[in-house]
Structure 1
């Protein structure tokens, strides 16, 4: 950067002018060779410089002339920032210390979308998130019915495991894939794969076909979740992104609660196949909206050049490593004991392969799917860790609260979905309101901290639930949890998007989503093991008195076949187990809060364009 005492020379290639003055009157001659120049009638605002002074708006309606030379009048200081080479001064924000990463041609020549068109595209993106998150929960209610029809009750876990494995492992690949092949093409691919998988699931004739089809759907669903957040970064400025991502977060929470409700309705009153076929019309609308309305710059280069940029070795190592880790986490304590040689062998093998993956990303891959340079930033590392533990705590709650209603309170699947509405109301209110407040004030860290503090407290309150807890207490506890999640989940994403270079936004966003998804797998596996062990331990005395009680371990509604005294004892066993599962989730949320304290603040720009370090 130039010194503050004089006006430095102006670079003609990809230069960005930063004004540090109380006045915004300037004459700027846009360069025809500059893909980031300001077009007529368009306002561009850039961030504060190393002195942290007030940011200014450059209005180019007063711009005149042509050529590459730019003049700035009535400005106390002018600083020219070149994307390719920037050295930060000591007093600069944390942006200056970041590696801007590789140049991405997809970010050039972008013209902001008209508001009306943006709303139509955003509606399509919301439908995409609705599809992917709904599919995660709606099938869980139908699994028992599906397995019974195919006479494969022992293969129920594979319905969820196959989906979870593919949706998790392919998320980082979509981040890099969108840089190589372009946002629009990658998003269309993910939706198409998801719809193909959903159609195959609905048409499945046996359990093997169902498991394979769920794996295909998972490949697409993982891409949808990642690509929606990535595309939003291309459509709106970082400052305005809060309100849009807040709405996305509300849609995610709403569909997560609506899923079990719809799954119960389809199972009880129609056919489980509609749990998959419902995706097709919604997906068709999403595809049409994206094809017709979403116009983003195309990635340059031939297909051969693009394929050469893919980190195939890294992808293969990551997929194999996560499969070897996730399988024993799903099996351990359920179908097999934790000390089983197969479980131990898979865990050791998974750790070894993941170490190989780290070596590939650090030393071999030219364009890694998980660049280690991202971890050089304190904020990035803190966001990844926070996302991991938020996923562990949040999905533990989402998994076990319906069990509380269905097992302990003996409610139907449909009623259980309705009972979760206080959580979704809290999430909707907090997510949307925090998004608009972040856009207005430009501050996101307070919402992360408040949200994670509320989530930790709310999770702790769930431990106080009993078999006969009042409805007011249940509503209050769920509402607190919903508010905590609503305040924190999308603002965490803003934190990492504000701390990386433009060229790294896609891959950083995808990896933040990846860590949250992996956290959900770990969280459900760990809390599930605690729950199962608690049930087995505390039900043993009851089994000695009445061996027939073992039937409730396969069908919780069978508890109604016993007398009231025995029924109360059985339900108390499940309540103890649920309390232990909720207890495990408390430190997950607490650790997420502690990691969030390390997140640094970066200015939320009100303009599209390159980040300050560029």
Structure 2
């Protein structure tokens, strides 16, 4: 289990450590206009390849696919640290994303193979704890490396951690591999489905990252890419339904109301969670004039409450069947609604005690739901669909993150601009949060109004999470003794 914890820590650390290194990277390569691609390139490939890992692990085995994901992630990280220009760095981040997209999903798939379902909540709660710790440590390490050594160590740190993870997986994780020749396994892959899904996802994510910043939402480029992405997903559905013998995304999963509810919860939960994660630091940096590192520390009430509640919820469903998954998700979404509702009261004069308390409420709700959908989905489907449902759940949460941040960014930009005098509209594009201390009180107040409007959208996301949880109200923690007897061992 240590190897799985390390993999979660590795993937989560990479997502947070880079943020504080980006300004130094932009300065060295003189490419401030391309800096967003460092994150976007990783996100595009990680999201696009996530669903494929489940089916690949069915065909080739969990362990070989997991090791391949670690190797690709390590290769990408090494190339990132050795990059000599921004183009090389962006391509290297895309390579790391191909591997990183499989790390978290494969961990949950492997847990479903080696841990009885009645105990699975405990271990998945531990994984949530590793995610939270990495989220706290990441920005601090990134700042320290950038200030004291070089930004390249924000990537090089993945190498020793990845090697330890790789070796521990090889030595400690014993899982059977499917029989058959390598060629026979290659033929089983849903190549057309995988290709179409990757292309459609990239076509959809590109306009979501560009809209509201590089291009207006009404720009023909954004509209065309969104339409092409939608057509791509329609073609993907046709391939999965009519062509693929072993589809990446079996359509029968979406016909099951309870499984579809798990996907929907992950989508809206991801929208709310990552929207807060991205926009609350903006409040501290602009309104409170704090540094990026300090604003990361101000997120501790949110992150720690998520970690504590994720672990506690995992223990709860492992030790009792009294509460259904739906009841837990409903209570968590209510806390999210209350917490996000409280965040719209943020102002220039909000005390740190108030802010910490409001973030704590949101974090408790987010943490309650974090592991529940995976546990519920794995308990509902047959064993042959475990990998597919787990990969898709990870995919929908990531897509939720992209949609949530994009929607909040649009709302924020529009409200901010609409409250400025005509001669100042469009000034947000040139605004630097690090100089917010010199900004006029009028601009600061406009930021407060725009952030409050954005946080109101998080209430909507939380409300949709509540509605999506209702079909799971009768789904209680599973106790499958026959399955428990056939569980694989870590020894």
TM-score (normalizing by structure 1): 0.76
Task: Evaluate the alpha carbon distance shift between residue 376 and residue 541 of structure 1 in structure 2; reply closer, same or farther with a 3 A threshold.
Answer: closer
Q: How does 1:79-228 map to 2 (within 5 A)?
A: 122-228=1-107
Structure 2 counterpart of 1:495? 376
After superposing the two structures, state which structure 1 stretch, 396-405 or 550-559, moved more: 550-559
Distance 2:208 2:427 in 1: 25
Distance 2:384 2:480 in 1: 18
* Native 8 Å contact 2:413 2:428 kept in 1: no
Distance 2:380 2:50 in 1: 20
Structure with the higher fraction of residues in helix conformation: 2
After superposing the two structures, state which structure 1 stretch, 358-367 or 403-412, moved more: 403-412
> What are the Cα deviations for residues 106-161 of structure 1, in whole angstroms up to 9, with x where unaligned?
xxxxxxxxxxxxxxxx1211111111112122212322221221111111221111
Distance 1:408 1:534 in 2: 16
* Native 8 Å contact 2:117 2:484 kept in 1: no
> What are the Cα deviations for residues 225-271 of structure 1, in whole angstroms up to 9, with x where unaligned?
11000000011111100111111112223323432333233333332
Structure 2 counterpart of 1:440? 319
Cα displacement (A) at 1:420: 0.9
Cα displacement (A) at 1:605: 2.1
> What are the Cα deviations for residues 350-371 of structure 1, in whole angstroms up to 9, with x where unaligned?
1111110110011110000000
Cα displacement (A) at 1:468: 1.8
* Native 8 Å contact 1:552 1:559 kept in 2: no
Distance 1:435 1:610 in 2: 18
Structure 1 counterpart of 2:359? 478
* Native 8 Å contact 1:396 1:585 kept in 2: yes
Distance 2:223 2:445 in 1: 33
1:272 aligns with 2:154: no
Cα displacement (A) at 1:346: 0.9
* Native 8 Å contact 1:159 1:210 kept in 2: yes
Q: How does 1:352-391 map to 2 (within 5 A)?
A: 352-391=231-270
Alignment counterpart, residue 139 of structure 2, candidates 249, 260, 271: 260
Structure 1 counterpart of 2:334? 453
Alignment counterpart, residue 578 of structure 1, candidates 430, 433, 451: 451
Cα displacement (A) at 1:607: 4.0
1:594 aligns with 2:467: yes
* Structure 2 segments unaligned to the other structure (5+ residues): 487-491
For residue 370 of structure 1, give the secondary structure of its aligned residue in structure 2: coil
Distance 1:317 1:277 in 2: 33
* Structure 1 segments unaligned to the other structure (5+ residues): 1-121
Distance 1:403 1:273 in 2: 25
Aligned-pair RMSD on alpha carbons? Answer: 1.9
Alignment counterpart, residue 528 of structure 1, candidates 409, 413, 428: 409
Q: What count of residue pairs does the alignment treat as equivalent?
A: 483
Structure 1 counterpart of 2:394? 513
Task: Evaluate the alpha carbon distance shift between residue 379 and residue 552 of structure 1 in structure 2; reply closer, same or farther with a 3 A threshold.
Answer: closer
- Structure with greater contact order relative to length (CA < 8 Å, sep ≥ 6): 2
TM-score (normalizing by structure 2): 0.94
* Native 8 Å contact 1:456 1:590 kept in 2: yes
Cα displacement (A) at 1:550: 4.5
> What are the Cα deviations for residues 536-557 of structure 1, in whole angstroms up to 9, with x where unaligned?
333446738xxxx948834222
> What are the Cα deviations for residues 281-309 of structure 1, in whole angstroms up to 9, with x where unaligned?
11111111111000011111111111111
